[in-house]
Amino acid sequence: MTIKIIKSSLILGLLAVAGCGASNPPEVSDGHLMLDETVVESIPETVARVPVLPKPEQRPDLETYTVVVHDVPIRELLFSMARDADLNLDIDNTISGKVTMNAIDQTLPRILDRISQQTDIRYSLVDDTLVVKSDTPHLKTYNISYLSKIPHYF
C-alpha cells in the first residue's frame, strides 16, 4: 500500500516539474525597464543653494519646584502642585494612592514623570491645564503625513 503512494507521489512530482518547464517565456516589449519620458520631465532639479536658517532663540528656563513629601495622597499632592504652578487641574476620579518623594529644584514635567512612575497615572499639559488620568489602555490616533501618490519610475 505504501509503495503505491510513493510511486503516485513521485509520478505527480515529475509531471509538475515537467509542466513548469514547458511554458513559453513572455515576450520582452520594446520599452521593458525603460523610463517613461513624462516621469523624467516631472523630476525637479536639485537645489543648488540651501536657504540660511535664522539662529535659534534662547528659550526661557522652566520654573523649578521643590517637593518633599512622605506618604501623601496623590490627589492632594497634584492639587497643591497645580495651585503653586498656577495651573488648572482636571483629575480622574479613579486616581488614588500615596507618594513619597524628595525632588529638589526640578521642573514640573520632571516631577510629574517621577510621580507617574510611582503611581498608575498619565498626564498631559494642555495650555494652562494639567490633565491627569488613570493609566489604563486607551485609544489614540496619530496623523502621519506621507505622500499620497508615489510616482513609478520603472
**DSSP structure string for 52-78:** PPPPPPPPPPPPEEEEEEEEEEHHHHH
pLDDT per residue as tens digits for the range 23-52: 555 565 555 565 555 555 667 788 888 888
Q: Is residue 119 part of a domain?
A: yes
What mean pLDDT is predicted for residues 84-97? 93
The number of distinct structural domains making up the chain is 1
Q: Is residue 41 part of a domain?
A: no
Interval 129-145 mean pLDDT: 88
Evaluate whether residue 16 is within a structural domain.
no
Which three cell numbers mark 32?
A: 521593458
- Our measurement of the distance from residue 58's CA atom to the centroid of its chain's CA atoms, rounded to an integer in Å, reads 28
Q: Over range 107-135, report the average pLDDT.
A: 93
| Size of the chain in residues | 154
Give the model's pLDDT for residue 48. Answer: 83
Question: Is residue 58 situated within a structural domain?
Answer: no
CATH number assigned to the domain comprising residue 77 = 3.55.50.30
Judge whether 102 lies within some domain. Answer: yes
The domain in which residue 84 lies consists of: 64-133
Domain annotation covers residue 128: yes
142-151's contacts with Cβ under 8 Å and 24+ in sequence apart are 151/39, 151/42
3-state SS class at 133 = strand
